[in-house]
């Protein structure tokens, strides 16, 4: 029930957001409406339309954002088709962040180093690929006053997501990153690659169950594995209290569930803990800024964040 005098927001989230709704303009699709979208498989559960369609409304842009399911094997055709249709920009999600790189005109250096692209911007001769996930994580951390520079960090995982976090930490001047993974080989590969690139031994690979080898001290811990993702809410890679006593801040890249087991354990041992929703928010905002050559204000970012939160029943 929406109280009198309040408007219901347009982005299908069915929440009352009177202030923002009053500032927003409806996008009425016409002959000049620009289209952005998402390619991935599947895409049914994406929250990206909430981010981009809300921003278009807040900024009064004549733009709509649409998810496009691209069947396995169809990514090249999807990118070529998008170019032919003059689609302004695309996000790219699982499972195509690496595969899409073969279909691009140009790749930004950071995305090339990470080996994953999540944002395409249309240029004269085709699309240019960027990785806004990492800069998104960085902005999310900045917004919570979490420092990477000169920090000693524990990074759980060595898959696609954790690999990108390792690059970010090295790039932003972390002191040391202890990369814990169930498969040591993978952590060693990432360490070789990142350490060679930065010219210093910033990434230190350790087998997951040997976490006690991490030197004494209190750390920022980034949870970059897929363990704990809904519906497996009660799972966590490490449950030993001795580990959590070393964590002053925990950042889980997962945002579904809202509070992961990892976050609960960090908090139970006196640390502060954050989920990955702000990372999702800022990767989207950076993509929107690239497509539209604008700077999104903190105030507008907050409006979008509130809408995203509403999807989790959190106020
Ligand atoms: P993403 O793109 O989300 O990073 P991914 O590349 O498949 O997905 O990586 C998943 C990460 O979660 C890996 O670090 C994986 O460890 P392995 O490299 O040993 O496979 C980690 N992971 C997944 N299931 C795990 C489990 N049950 N225990 C510990 N680590 C797990």
Residues 126 and 166: their CA atoms lie apart, in Å, by: 30
Torsion 234-237-241-243 (CA) sign: negative
The answer, yes or no, to whether any atom of ligand 1 lies below 6 A from the CB of 222, is: no
Residue 36 CB contacts under 8 Å (≥ 6 apart), including other chains: 52, 63, 64, 65, 66, 87, 88, 89, 90, 91, 291
pLDDT per residue over 68-119, tens digit each? Answer: 999 999 999 999 999 999 999 999 999 999 999 999 999 999 999 999 999 9
CB 160 within 8 A of CB 128: no
Tokens of 151: 């920090």
CB 66 within 8 A of CB 90: no
pLDDT per residue over 19-53, tens digit each? Answer: 454 456 667 899 999 999 999 999 999 999 999 99
Q: Which residues are catalytic?
A: 97
pTM: 0.91
Tokens of 312: 């989790």
Measured in angstroms, how far is the CA atom of residue 37 from the centroid of ligand 1? 28
Ligand 1 atom closest to the Cα of residue 183 is 19
Q: List 130's β-bridge partners, or say none.
A: 119
pLDDT of residue 102: 98
Tell how far CA 13 is from the center of its chain: 20
Mean pLDDT of 304-311: 97
The answer, yes or no, to whether any atom of ligand 1 lies below 6 A from the CB of 183, is: yes
Q: Grade residue 315 by pLDDT with cuts at 50, 70 and 90.
A: confident
Q: Which residues of 29-50 are buried (b: 16+ CB within 10 A; e: fewer)?
A: eeeeebbbbbbbbebeebbbbb
pLDDT of residue 26: 66
Residues in the chain: 315
Measured in angstroms, how far is the CA atom of residue 225 from the centroid of ligand 1? 5
pLDDT per residue over 144-183, tens digit each? Answer: 999 999 999 999 999 999 999 999 999 999 999 999 999 9
């Amino acid at each position: 029930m929406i109280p009198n005098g309040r408007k219901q927001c347009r982005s299908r989230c069915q929440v009352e957001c009177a202030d923002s709704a009053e500032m927003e303009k409806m996008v009425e699709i016409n002959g000049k409406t620009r289209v952005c979208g998402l390619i991935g498989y599947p895409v049914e559960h994406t929250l990206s339309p909430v981010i981009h369609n809300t921003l278009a409304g807040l900024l009064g842009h004549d733009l709509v954002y649409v998810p496009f399911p691209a069947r396995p094997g169809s990514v090249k055709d999807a990118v070529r088709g998008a170019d032919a249709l003059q689609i302004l920009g695309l996000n790219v999600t699982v499972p195509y962040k690496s595969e899409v790189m073969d279909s691009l005109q140009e790749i930004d250096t950071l995305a090339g180093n990470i080996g994953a692209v999540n944002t395409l911007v249309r240029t004269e001769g085709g699309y240019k690929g960027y990785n806004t996930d990492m800069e998104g994580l960085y902005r999310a951390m900045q917004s919570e006053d979490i420092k990477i520079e000169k920090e000693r960090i524990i990074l759980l995982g060595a898959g696609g997501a954790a690999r990108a976090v390792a690059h970010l930490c090295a790039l932003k001047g972390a002191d040391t990153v202890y990369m814990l993974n169930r498969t040591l080989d993978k952590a060693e590969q990432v360490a070789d690659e990142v350490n060679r690139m930065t010219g210093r031994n910033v990434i230190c690979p350790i087998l997951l169950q040997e976490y006690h080898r991490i030197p004494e001290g209190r750390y920022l811990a980034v949870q970059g594995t897929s363990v704990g993702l809904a519906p497996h809410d009660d799972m966590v890679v490490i449950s030993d209290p001795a580990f959590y006593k070393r964590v002053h801040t925990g950042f889980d890249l997962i945002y579904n569930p809202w509070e992961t087991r990892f976050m609960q354990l960090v908090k139970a041992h006196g640390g502060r803990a954050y989920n990955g929703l702000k990372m999702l928010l800022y990767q989207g905002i950076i993509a929107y800024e690239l497509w539209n050559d604008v700077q999104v204000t903190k105030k507008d970012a907050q409006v979008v964040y509130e809408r995203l939160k509403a999807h989790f029943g959190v106020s």
